[in-house]
């Protein structure tokens, strides 16, 4: 994601996206910029698309966390069964 470089304290404007949580943060930033714009109503289609993308990303992150938890539980059960 490229952001405007208006303030040197904000960094380079590039964000590294390596997991769903990073993508969520970028989407929220973009949604907030639309809401803070002078003419946010003209961007309602973009806002709707970004909202749907954020929801999908959130579901993906929650699914990944759930699978991770299930794997940990399965490993514990397998370890106990091996004893």
CB 33 within 8 A of CB 1: no
- Tokens 């514990």 belong to 76
Q: Per residue in 45-61, pLDDT tens?
A: 999 999 999 999 999 98
Number of domains into which the chain is organized: 1
Question: Does the residue 15 lie in any domain?
Answer: yes
- Per DSSP, 13 falls in state S
Question: Does the residue 35 lie in any domain?
Answer: yes
Closest CA to 54 of 82, 77, 34: 34
Q: Is the pLDDT of residue 8 over 70?
A: no
Question: Does the residue 78 lie in any domain?
Answer: yes
- Whole domain around residue 75: which residue ranges? 8-82
pTM of the model: 0.64
pLDDT at 18: 87
Question: Does the residue 26 lie in any domain?
Answer: yes
């Amino acid at each position: 994601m490229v952001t405007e470089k208006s303030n040197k304290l904000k960094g380079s404007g590039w964000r590294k996206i390596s997991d769903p949580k990073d993508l969520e943060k970028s989407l929220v930033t973009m949604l907030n910029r639309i809401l803070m714009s002078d003419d946010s109503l003209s961007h309602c289609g973009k806002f709707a698309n970004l909202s749907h993308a954020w929801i999908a990303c959130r579901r993906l992150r929650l699914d990944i966390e759930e699978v991770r938890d299930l794997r940990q539980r399965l490993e514990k059960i397998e370890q106990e069964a091996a004893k």
